[in-house]
Structure 1
Amino acid sequence: MRLLKEGIREDVQRLKELGVNSYRFSIGWSRVIPDGTLKGGINKEGIDFFYNNLINELLNNGIEPFVTILHFDYPLALQQNIGGFLNRSIVKHFKDYSELLFKTYGDRVKYWTTLNEPGLQAMYNYMENLTHYSTEDCATTKVCTEVYTVLHNLLISHATVSKLYKSKFQAVQGGEIGIAITSRSYVPYSSKPEDVDAAQRLTEFRWGWVLEPLFNGDYPKIMRKLVGKRLPEFTKNEKEILKGSTDFIGINYYYSLFVRYEPNKSKIPASDNYDALADQYGCRYVYPEGLYNFLLYINKEYKNPRIYITENGIPSFKIPNPLKDEHRTAYITAHINATKAAINDGVNVRGYFAWAAFDTYDFDNGYSKHMELYHVDFDDSLKRIMTNTAKWYKKYLTHDSVH
């Protein structure tokens, strides 16, 4: 415990040295409630020791905690016992878990994100079946049902927890509650009407799938038309609690994609979204304009909501020395400038988080992706080392450089 507490203190000091005024992190549901249910018991060490120490240490150093309640990893027992988010009963367990967090940390945490990238969570688990949870073969049949059920239950979980927070905690604790979404920008491959229409359809199937229910109470009309009965219906009460359930939108933006109309429904189109810079560093198309365009789109479609850039960064797959990451400096600079341009055009962006402060685990690539400001040496007692981008970022945040 002593070593863990010292580790928390040292990492927070690194954040302070960096000059940030907020730190985004997630709480592990299974670390707090191991089997996912209050009946199964609470892990007192997890809830009282680790997260309390982290939150207090951040605040003592002038850093605001920005907390995500669910970032993909819910307790395995819930998947094994009830089928995870395929089962509507998980909504109650998510509400119980969230209420425990509000009661325990809400006096100090003022920024809550219910879900991180719910659309991506549903697609990874039940369309691409990376976790082998799905019983369907979407890749072969092209007809999926479970993915829509899972996202539906995730949205109702979000709305239920948001209603709880707003009715029981917000007035006293004075915080905000929102959701973070995957935010790739979809660019028509050409000016042909069919490519323009395809890009707009994909936009509604990806962004609108999550945002339309939260702002307008139902899925996009094009999804209702094309997905049909496989797309679940919201009850009148569910529509009411969904609308207005988010105080802010978190934007996780990394790259954009070209979209081309494909008349053959059984054919998977080739990916045309790589450029020389992207290929060199193991990422997709580096396109800061995509972030700018996305921010303007959200501003127009959803009447100027409060926005935080909750993730933005580039990996270092293919460079020999991860500390010499000038490509990351250029990437972050360009995307901060795109964000500033959107703000100048009236978009209500309140904050920006580079992804990530420390070397982090990626669900696809483990620890090999290297999307960090502080590099972690896994061969040397987890030693933290400032990358060149971190040194630049420190100067940027402390106004030592012209920007």
Structure 2
Amino acid sequence: ITFNEPYIFAAYGYATGLFAPGRGSSQQADCVDGDTGTKKPNHIGLLPRRGCFLKSLRYLGGDPGTEPYIVGHHQILAHAKAVKLYKSKYKHQNGQIGVTLNTDWYVPYSNSEKTERLHLELDFSLVVLHPLVYGDYPASMRDLVKKRLPKFKDDEIVLVKGSYDFLGINYYTANYAKNNPNVDPNKPSQVTDAHADVSTVRDGVSIGPKVRKDSWLAVYPQGLKDLMIHIKKYYRDPPIYITENGYLDYDCPNVEKLIKDEGRVKYHQQHLIKLHESIKAEVNIKGYFAWTLLDDFEWSRGYTMRFGITYVDFKHKTLERIPKHSARWFNHFLHTRRWFTTNPSKIFAKANIIKLPQS
């Protein structure tokens, strides 16, 4: 894999300023929830397009209307050159090379904008894939971004087109999307170029269950299947690995609660079922990787979010590991090839909860 989530690097680093090098709009720019219209600070570790839209932008430096596209463009070229190098010098290894992209699934807020809004959102979030398959950016992006979107030279088109053996996809959640006609043309930004308001909530109801009301992750397994079929249909049926798919818990002092993670078990059950349905629909699925084996450092959220199927005690130097119920479920699933059991308590009967020392 040449790059993991190149879109995030370009957007978070050069449009929102949330990640290094911190260029673009301020992390504290006014962010308005796409459904309720209430303001919330834009420092939540997410792109403003996921769950809210920016009413005003305060710049940290740089140009969020051009730099994210320049950075993304050079990531595509760098990827293609790495693929060319591998194919020319290391082909004898019989290995494969590809790139991993992240995207949510998008559900139109209303039937009136169904097809157009869905495709436009995916054009922006899968921006790297279109050049790899067709040699250029989507026409929808050319229409909206215009001269700010870089152009590929003739030799670069040849280099980029077809530069992958497989596609990695990181999928977690889905959002409602609707048109936003109020984008300020005098403050162009990659964040607002799709002219979209995005939210997990419509008419006060979440698109799927959440571990907490303010969580960005709403459980929507159907989105994984819909995404797989979309990629098969519009991007020439590439071999696909699900390189990340996971469920978050927020850190809390109750270790036993974190270990008894039935929500995570259900999340993986439901997504694997939809992935199996995708395979039956002849999507070229090659593999599935759960995010993640261990609780880890989640970038701007640090250790406050836990995605692991194994609990890690970050408060003590031992960093003790304790398998969660989800780890035992995965063990059961991989041995029996059954993702459901009529009596889940049998799987977890031996899941002894270790009491950690109080800090």
Report the TM-score range of the alignment, normalised by the length of the smaller protein: 0.7 to 0.9
SS in 1 for 2:167: strand
Which residue number in structure 2 is paired with residue 317 of structure 1? 250
Of 205, 210, 228, the match for 2:124: 205
Partner Cα separation in structure 1 for residue 198 and residue 79 of structure 2: 35
* Shift, 1:167, TM fit: 1.1
- Does the CA contact (< 8 Å) of 2:101 and 2:170 recur in 1? yes
Q: Does 1:301 align with 2:234?
A: yes
> How far apart are residue 394 of structure 1 and its match?
0.4
- Cα shift readout 1:254-299 (whole Å, capped 9, x = no counterpart): 0011001122114984734445721538342211010000000111
Q: Give per-residue Cα distances to partners, 1:343-376, cap 9 Å, x unaligned.
A: 0000010100000011121112111211001111
Taking structure 1 as reference, are residues 296 and 400 closer, same or farther at Cα in structure 2, changes over 3 Å only? closer
SS of structure 2 residue aligned to 1:176 = coil
Distance (whole Å) between structure 1 residues aligned to residue 243 and residue 197 of structure 2 = 30
1:339 aligns with 2:275: yes
**Matched residues, number:** 288
Query: Which residue matches 2:209?
Result: 277
Aligned pairs for 1:192-271 (under 5 A) are 192-193=112-113, 196-207=115-126, 209-266=127-184, 269=197, 271=199
Match of 1:391 in 2: 328
Residue number among 291, 307, 329 corresponding to 2:224 in the alignment: 291
2:108–2:178 CA contact under 8 A, matched in 1: yes
Distance 1:247 1:400, change over 3 A: closer
Q: 1:156 to 1:184 in 2, by over 3 A?
A: same
CA distance in structure 1 between the aligned counterparts of 2:339 and 2:3, rounded to whole angstroms: 36
Q: Which residue of 2 aligns with 1:58?
A: none
Q: CA 1:227–1:326 in structure 2 vs 1: closer, same or farther (change >3 Å)?
A: same
Identity of matched residues, %: 36
User: More relative contact order in 1 or in 2 (CA 8 Å, sep 6+)?
Assistant: 2
Name the SS of the counterpart of 1:304 in structure 2: coil
Query: Where is the helix percentage greater, Structure 1 or Structure 2?
Result: 1
Q: What is the rounded CA distance, in whole Å, between the counterparts of 1:375 and 1:177 in structure 2?
A: 32
- CA distance in structure 2 between the aligned counterparts of 1:291 and 1:122, rounded to whole angstroms: 24
Aligned partners of 2:161, 2:9: CA distance in 1, in Å? 22
Aligned partners of 1:283 and 1:314 also within 8 Å: no
Q: 1:400 and 1:192 mapped to 2: Cα distance? A: 42
For 1:120-140, what per-residue CA distance to the aligned partner results, in whole angstroms no more than 9, with x for missing partners?
111010111113635544835
Q: Structure 2 length as normaliser, TM-score?
A: 0.75
Distance 1:131 1:119 in 2: 12
- Residue 258 of structure 1 aligns to a residue in which SS? strand
Displacement, 1:226?
Answer: 1.2
Following TM superposition, by how much is the alpha carbon of 1:399 offset from its aligned partner in structure 2, in angstroms? 1.1
Question: C-alpha displacement at 1:378, in angstroms?
Answer: 1.5
Alignment check: 8 A CA contact 1:180 1:310 kept = yes
Q: Is the CA contact (8 Å cut-off) linking 2:166 and 2:238 kept in structure 1?
A: yes
Distance 2:162 2:14 in 1: 28
Partner AA of 1:230 in structure 2: R
Q: Secondary structure at the match of 2:283?
A: coil
Q: Does 1:151 align with 2:72?
A: yes
Corresponding residue number in structure 1 for 2:32:
none
Counterpart residue identity of residue 376, structure 1? V
User: Any stretches of 5+ residues in structure 1 without a counterpart?
Assistant: 1-112
Q: CA deviation at 1:197?
A: 2.0
Cα distance between partner residues in 2 of 1:357 and 1:137: 34
The structure-2 alpha-carbon separation of the partners of 1:384 and 1:168, relative to structure 1 and needing over 3 Å to count, comes to: same
SS of the residue 2:13 aligns to = helix
